[in-house]
Amino acid sequence: MCAAPVVLGTLSYVFGWGVGKPASYGELIAPQPLSGPPFRQLRGKWVLVSFDSAACDARCEKKLYTMRQVRRAQGAQMRSVERLWVLTDSAAPRRELLQAIEGTRTAQHDRSAAQFPGKAEEHIYLIDQIGNLMMRFPPDPDPPRMIKDLERLLKYSGTG
């Protein structure tokens, strides 16, 4: 019985059972302070950010819907989460789309995508409540796993 923890620990290390798997679904990014009007006004809130054109194809609509559902899944804590759609062109989004994503803030692209790693249009990003870019989710993200990440962040940040 005394040797069991040592033997089981060694076996889990040798066979890689749960070793090296990240705890979060989203990819953590070294915190980068963001500046500029759309980000400065949202300090004090966690912000889900998406970059897309105003034409918004099916992939874009799915991202915006995912952001809405992830926020709603936070229940009473959803007050701590905002959504921001940064438009990558100067066109205006369709009125029916804006009604479907009611509450999502929009901002015009002002070279802010350069501050975001990777191809900004492919990911949903997360900004913490002090204005730092800190996480990005993979293309075509899994909403339940995003919800779990955000719940954990809200819980441990003391804002939720």
DSSP-derived secondary structure letter, 123:
-
Domain membership flag for residue 2: no
Report the alpha-carbon distance of residue 79 to residue 63 in Å, rounded: 20
Report the alpha-carbon distance of residue 77 to residue 137 in Å, rounded: 20
What are the distances in angstroms from CA 59 to CA 6, 28, 76? 49, 23, 28
Amino acid 2: pLDDT: 84
Domain membership flag for residue 54: yes
Domain membership flag for residue 19: no
Q: What's the chain's average pLDDT?
A: 89
The number of beta carbons lying within 10 Å of the beta carbon of residue 144 is 11
Query: Mean pLDDT across the stretch 105-126?
Result: 86
Tokens standing for 109?
A: 């692209």
The two beta strands, 46-52 and 27-33, are: unpaired
Amino acid 19: pLDDT: 57
Amino acid 20: pLDDT: 60
Range of the domain at 67: 25-157
Confidence of residue 23 (pLDDT cuts 50, 70, 90): confident
Domain membership flag for residue 108: yes
What CATH number does residue 150 fall under?
3.40.30.10
* pLDDT greater than 80 at residue 149: yes
What is the sign of the dihedral through the CA atoms of 86, 90, 91 and 96? positive
Query: Mean pLDDT across the stretch 10-26?
Result: 73
What are φ and ψ of residue 152, in 5° steps?
A: -65, -45
Report the alpha-carbon distance of residue 156 to residue 160 in Å, rounded: 8
Query: Mean pLDDT across the stretch 36-50?
Result: 90
The structural domain count of the chain equals: 1
Amino acid 18: pLDDT: 62
Domain membership flag for residue 81: yes
Domain membership flag for residue 4: no
pTM: 0.84
Domain membership flag for residue 78: yes
What are the distances in angstroms from CA 136 to CA 2, 6, 48, 80? 43, 37, 9, 18
CB 127, CB 42: distance < 8 Å: yes
Domain membership flag for residue 10: no
